[in-house]
Amino acid sequence: MDAPTTTRSADGQDSSAGDGNEPGIPVEASADAVLVRRTLAEIAPVADRVTSYFYALLFIRNPELREMFPVAMDTQRDRLLKALLTAAEHLDDTPVLTAYLENLGRGHRKYGTHSTHYPAVGEALIGALARYATTSWDAEAEAAWVRTYTTISQIMIDAAAEDERSAPAWWQAEVVSHDLRTPDIAVVTLRPDQPYPFLAGQYTTLETPWWPRIWRHYSFASAPRPDGLLSLHVKAVPAGWVSNALVHRARPGDVLRLGPPAGSMTVDHAADTGLLCVGGGTGIAPIKALVEDVAEHGDRRPVDVFYGARSDHDLYDIDTMLRLQKTFPWLSVHPVTEEQGRLPEAVCRYGSWSERDAYLSGPLGMVRRGVDALRGAGVPVERIRHDFLTELAPADPDQPRSGACMARTPSMLPSR
C-alpha cells in the first residue's frame, strides 16, 4: 500500500496523519485510495449481491470456516465484509485506520480467528470485487486491493498476536444478578472468570448461550469496581434475539461470554475541564460509569448529565442518578422527557457548553443530532466524544436503527 497522504478523518475533520502533513491542509488521496474508492463506488448499488457472493466463495472454498459464523447469517452475515470495506475506505487515514484495525484484530480472537484464515478471506474479497466491479476492475485495481488487504490483515494479525500475550481471547462471565427495571429493560450484573480490565465509558461484546456466535455490544454501566463485577443495561427490542434473551431469559447462574473492552468515550483525568454528558435511554449506562469514574479520581470538575427518555416511566435509572447528584456537589442531573422536547435541543437550550468536554451516548439519531447541535453551539469537535456510528454498520436487530437505536461497529473511528 502506498504511504497514505490524506489526513481527513471519518467525521470530516482534518487530523494529523503523522506523515508530515499539517492538519487542515487538504492533500491528495494516494493512488491506491483512489482505485479502492472507485471499486467501492461501483459496488455500492449491488452491495447485497457482493456480500452474498463473498460468503459463498469463502464457504465453498473453505467449508471449515463456516462454523466460525452464526448458524443464521441473516443479521450479521455482512459484518466481516463491511468491516473490511470500511477499513479500505479509510485507507489514507493512517492513525484512525490503525486503531480501528488493531481493535478489530483483537476482537476477532474470540471468534477463533487465526492468522492462517486471512488469506482465504482476502481471496474471497478479491473474487467478489472482481465479479461485481466490472467497469473499474483491472490489473491495477486488483494490485491496489491486494496491497490494501495485505496491510489491513497484517495490522489485525499483529494486534491479535500482541494481545495474546496478555489477555484471553474471551472471558466467561456468570450472571450474578438480574434486575428487571421496566417490562423491557434489565440491569444485568456479571462476574467475569478472571480480571476484566476496562475503562469507564467503554463497551464489550457479548455472546449468550442461547444464540451461539451471535455477539452484541453493550456499554458498561459502572466504572471498574473493587469486586470486579460488571453491570450492563439491556433493553429488549422487537426481534432482538440477544437483547430478549438477556432481559427475559437470563437468570443468576447463567454463563455468558465477553470479548475484549473497546471504545474511546473515556475521561482524560489529566485535564480539569468540566463534563457535559448526554445519555438517551439505555445510553445512560456509560454516562453513569463516567460519573463514577470522575468521583473515584477525586476530581471536582463540574459534571452536567442530561438524561433523556420518552416519558417519565422510561427514566428507569433516574433514582440512581439523583442519588449520585445528592452525594456529589459537582454533579447536576437534568432529566428530559419528550414532553420537554428532544434531548439535543434541550441540552442546547439550557446553556452554553463551549468550555466543556462533551460525551454522547444513546440512539443513533440522538447522537448525530447531539453532535450537530453542540458543534453549532460552539463546542469544538475535538471535545465531543462518542462511539463512532457508521453508516456501514450492519443491520442489528438488537439495536434497531431508523433513529430509534444505534448500530455500532466495534470501536469504530472516534470523533477525535
Give least dist CB 400 to ligand NAI, A: 7
Contact string (CB under 6 A) for ligand NAI, positions 375-394, x = contact = -----------xx-------
Select from 15-23, 268-276, 319-327, 337-345 the region that touches ligand NAI (CB under 6 A): 337-345
Contacts to ligand NAI from residues 289-308, by CB under 6 A? 308
Q: Nearer to ligand NAI by C-beta: 51 or 208?
A: 208
Give least dist CB 281 to ligand NAI, A: 2
β-bridge mates for residue 232, sequence order: 188, 220
Virtual torsion, Cα 342, 291, 184, 338, nearest 10 deg = -10
Give least dist CB 111 to ligand NAI, A: 21
240 binds ligand NAI (CB under 6 A): no
Give least dist CB 282 to ligand NAI, A: 4
281 binds ligand NAI (CB under 6 A): yes
Which residue's entry shows cell 490494501? 148
Q: Nearer to ligand NAI by C-beta: 70 or 363?
A: 363
Helix axis angle, 364-376 to 343-350, nearest 10°: 30
406 binds ligand NAI (CB under 6 A): yes
403 binds ligand NAI (CB under 6 A): yes
Helix axis angle, 118-132 to 47-61, nearest 10°: 140
The DSSP symbol for 389 reads -
**Residue 396 CB burial class (10 angstroms; 0-12, 13-18, ≥19):** buried
310 binds ligand NAI (CB under 6 A): yes
Which spans in 108-138 are helix H? 118-132
Q: Side chain identity at 363, as an amino acid letter? A: P
286 binds ligand NAI (CB under 6 A): yes
285 binds ligand NAI (CB under 6 A): yes
Give least dist CB 237 to ligand NAI, A: 7
397 binds ligand NAI (CB under 6 A): no
Q: How many residues bind ligand NAI (CB under 6 A)?
A: 31
d(CA 279, CA 269): 21
Q: Taking a C-beta distance cutoff of 8 angstroms, is the pair 397, 240 a contact?
A: yes
**Three-class SS state of 46:** helix
**Residue 391 CB burial class (10 angstroms; 0-12, 13-18, ≥19):** exposed
Q: Taking a C-beta distance cutoff of 8 angstroms, is the pair 89, 40 a contact?
A: yes
d(CA 393, CA 404): 15
Backbone angles phi, psi at 199, to 5 degrees: -115, 150
Select from 5-13, 126-134, 279-287, 347-355 the region that touches ligand NAI (CB under 6 A): 279-287
Q: Nearer to ligand NAI by C-beta: 7 or 390?
A: 390
Out of 30, 361, 390, 411, name the contact with ligand NAI by CB under 6 A: 361
Beta-strand pair 275-280/357-361: parallel
Out of 365, 397, 410, 414, name the contact with ligand NAI by CB under 6 A: 365
Show the cell assigned to 308: 433523556
Which residues of the chain form contacts with ligand NAI (CB under 6 A)? 203, 219, 235, 280-283, 285-286, 308-310, 314, 336, 338, 342-344, 361-363, 365-366, 369, 386-387, 399, 403-406
